[in-house]
Amino acid sequence: MSGNLRMDRTLTSFIWAWIMLIIVVNLFGIAGLFMGEDSDGQALQELREIYSPFNVINWLLELVILSPALVAYLWRERRRKSLQAR
């Protein structure tokens, strides 16, 4: 039983660490965008274009980047369900 709890905690830690990593990378990208543009207005316009709901490529890439955390979440939930069935 201890091994199952340890694996659950490991998967949960991985999920949170991966999500935090993606958030930090996005924040660094935003900061770099503001440092690289001539004015804040240009940076905001670029930011709006990147994170626009119509920029499907960006959202698909975000999904691909988050996929390890999503897979770990699904694996953890499947493990929890199978342990409850015992």
> Tens digits of per-residue pLDDT, 69-84?
999 999 999 999 998 8
Q: What are phi and psi of 37, to 5 degrees?
A: -90, 160
Give the domain range for residue 70. Answer: 2-85
The Cα 54–Cα 67 span in angstroms is 21
pLDDT of residue 13 exceeding 90, the answer is yes
What is residue 1's predicted lDDT score, i.e. its pLDDT? 59
- Average of per-residue pLDDT values in the chain: 93
Per the CB < 8 A criterion, the answer to whether 58 and 51 are in contact is: yes
The Cα 35–Cα 38 span in angstroms is 8
Instruction: Give the pTM.
Output: 0.85
In total, how many domains does the chain have?
1
Q: Which residues of 16-36 are buried (b: 16+ CB within 10 A; e: fewer)?
A: eebeeeeeeeeeeeeeeeeee
